[in-house]
Structure 1
Amino acid sequence: MTAPALAPALCLLNPHAANGRCAALAEPLRAALSQVPLVLPDNVAAARQRLLALPEGSRVLVAGGDGTVHQLLPALVERRLQLALLPSGTGNDLARALGLARLSWREALAHARGAPASPMDLGELTTPGAAPRLFMSSLTAGFDAAIALRAHAAPKWLRGQPRYLWATLVEIGRLRVQRLRVEADGALLHDGPLLFASSLNTPTYGSGMPAAPGARVDDGELQLLRAGAFGRLGALAMMPLLLTGLHLRHPKVALSGFRALHLGSAQPIPLAVDGEPLPSAADVTVRLRPAALQVVRLPS
């Protein structure tokens, strides 16, 4: 069910997004938002506290990227806030899924002021000893999570997809294939070696790679992307296919929808949510949180 357009109650700007380039939007946004408070929080906790103090159901402008939104998800969901994204990050896979990635910040702002909000699904990750963690784009498990970790250490001048490609080339030299038991919605899908087994809510991850082209953020399911026991040369050859969306033709690659997923391994596997690295874990549970967040998007 769509929710009516509301006047924004607050604009949060992450000055660290896009390697600090988002900070340049502060003054132009302040001029454009004469009646809306612009906040540049010192840290994640401060940003969440500002959101938690808003009336339930308020509309919030967020200037940043996937990592910014990911950190705000608990507060957005708890207060049932409407998210109006001004895409200003490095990856911007959520912005792509919402149809906003090609808009300038001024165009996104104009749209955010007049468009209704509609529900979006989220994913929830649970590992032993850790609190459940929401994600809106992807949970990567295995090789592609190792790439996300490596991308955080990439040279600052690398932006967007080249950052992930650099990380991929580095990680191929350290390639590890692990044995995984994969159960989805109570059915055993796989028990054996896998390069990765990742859950997607958006069609793209890794700054625009079309990993799950048919994924939709409001279709009531997540997508599981599995890649088999590739060696270094095979993984390297897979990259052009993944970049063009042709990877699903490969017999070692499978994509399937699910609502509940369990991954088990004898050894901890690398994990990342929405491109943010997490501690490795050997026991991973993922479940769908349907219609958990209200978002402003462009019509598809």
Structure 2
Amino acid sequence: MPAAGSVLVLLNPRADGGRAGRLADPLREWLGRHAAGAAFVVAETAEAARSAVSAQPEGVRVVVVGGDGTVHQVLPTLLARDATLALVPLGSGNDLSRALGLRRLPWQPALEHALRGHASPCDVGELVVGHAAVPFASSLAAGFDAAVSRRAVAGPEGLRGQSRYLWATLRELAALRTWRMKVIVDGVPWYDGPALFASCLNTPTYGAGMPAVPSARIDDGRLDLLIAGRFGRLGALWMLPRLLAGSHLRHRHVHTRPFLELRVESATPVPLAADGEVLPPERAFAVRVRRGALKVVKGTRGAIPPPPARRSR
């Protein structure tokens, strides 16, 4: 275990539909018995979570008890503190923990692994708008899928995980639209036309487990672009079950390729969401990879398995 005083266990009580809050007392008791040197904070707000990380020494191991959204909230501070991230996945999406090979264990063994597991470098994506940069761990959605994320945030309390995203997707289809996008990949014009979405993946899945780019890896030094071109409602309905099955890449209007940096320009503002967290729409933005920028504890299943062969269209 890291030296006493260099561990912060950060609980988001709102994760998992508020169920994570029930763990506050059991976590505090368990840490008192097994990791007395660890700091423990129940962060009711994103600002409280960031402040808790900022108060720690550089190189701290931060154990996030929550989901992708919780990680996204503290990611800039983790990077600034050169922190090591470990996860006890309790969110509704959990695409990051899935990419790291973290099984959905009971919280006690998951916490023990988070405290003791070996950390290795992983990549981080970064959205750049003007002079502002927003890091993301799993995905940057742009277009229809970001609009789905926005609707999912306000979805029914009883729906969680992929069910919530499916509900939001079907609702968003009623107002389906595309955006005229010009996409420049690694300095070369690559796409110019109508797009349902143009999203960037650091993990194979997004939207609570949809295999958007199955070949994507969180530690390969690059991100993966996924573009869906001109689709009407019927075409989008056709694509949805294939996206769930990972067979959408066979469609002639769906394109993917790895990249280091890209720029997107649109005549109208494009909805954006980073790690499922809704951001303001933008007409122009860039996305780039920060190679090996974050040390992360990977899963109990060992190393991330080799990816399937890439398809670039």
Q: What TM-score do you get using the length of structure 1 for normalisation?
A: 0.96
Q: Which residue of 2 aligns with 1:59?
A: 61
Name the stretch that deviates more: 94-103 or 194-203.
Answer: 94-103
> Contact conserved, 2:224 with 2:257, CA < 8 A, in 1?
yes
Q: For 2:2, which of 2, 6, 29 is the aligned residue?
A: 6
Match of 1:25 in 2: 23
CA distance in 2, matches of 1:18, 1:163: 12
1:120-199 aligned at under 5 Å gives the runs 120-128=122-130, 131-199=132-200
Q: CA deviation at 1:20?
A: 0.8
20-29 or 198-207, which moves further after superposition? 20-29
Q: Aligned partners of 2:109, 2:102: CA distance in 1, in Å?
A: 9
Shift in Å at residue 261 of structure 1?
A: 0.7
Give, in angstroms, the shift of residue 38 of structure 1.
Answer: 1.7
Shift of 1:52: 1.4
The alpha-carbon deviation at position 37 of structure 1 amounts to: 2.6
Structure 2: which amino acid aligns with 1:31?
A: E
For 2:153 and 2:63, how far apart are their aligned partners in 1? 26
Q: Tell me by how many angstroms 1:65 deviates.
A: 0.3
Contact kept in structure 1, 2:178 and 2:230, CA below 8 Å: yes
Would the aligned equivalents of 1:193 and 1:228 in 2 still touch at CA under 8 Å? Answer: yes
1:186-228 per-position Cα deviation (integer Å, ceiling 9, x unaligned): 1111111111000000110000000011111110000000001
Q: Which aligned pairs between 1:231-242 and structure 2 lie closer than 5 A?
A: 231-242=232-243
List aligned pairs for 1:1-300, cutoff 5 A: 6-7=2-3, 9-34=7-32, 35=36, 36-128=38-130, 131-298=132-299, 299-300=302-303
Cα distance in 2 for partners of 1:114, 1:17 equals: 23
Give the drift of 1:274.
0.4
Runs of at least 5 residues in structure 2 that lack an aligned partner in the other structure:
304-313
**1:89-114 Cα deviation digits (max 9, x unpaired):** 11011110111142222221121232
Deviations 1:140-198 (A, max 9, x none): 00111100001011100001001000000011110001110001101111111111000
Q: Which amino acid aligns with 1:239?
A: L
Post-superposition offset of 1:28: 1.6
Q: Offset at 1:41?
A: 2.1
**d(CA) in 2 for partners of 1:10 and 1:192?**
47
Alignment-mate amino acid for residue 108 of structure 1: A
Distance in 2 between residues matched to 1:284 and 1:72, nearest whole Å: 22
Q: Could you list the runs of 5+ residues in structure 1 that have no partner in the other structure?
A: none
Q: Deviations over 1:4-52 (max 9, x none)?
A: x525622110011122111011122112111123211232222212211
Three-state SS of the structure 1 residue aligned to 2:132 is coil
Distance 2:132 2:227 in 1: 25
Partner of 2:307 in structure 1? none
Query: Aligned letter for 1:136?
Result: A
Is the 8 Å Cα contact of residues 122 and 288 (structure 1) preserved in structure 2? yes
Distance 1:61 1:203 in 2: 23
Matched-pair contact (CA < 8 Å) for 1:92–1:101: no
How far apart are 1:234 and its partner, in Å?
A: 0.6
Contact 2:63 2:115 in 1 (8 A): no
Return the alpha-carbon distance in structure 2 between the equivalents of residues 52 and 37 of structure 1.
13
Paired residue type of 2:45: N
Report the Cα offset of residue 60 of structure 1. Answer: 1.4
One-letter code aligned to 2:124: L
In 1, the alpha carbon distance for the partners of 2:204 and 2:103 equals 13
The aligned length equals 295
CA–CA distance in structure 2, aligned partners of residues 252 and 184 of structure 1: 18
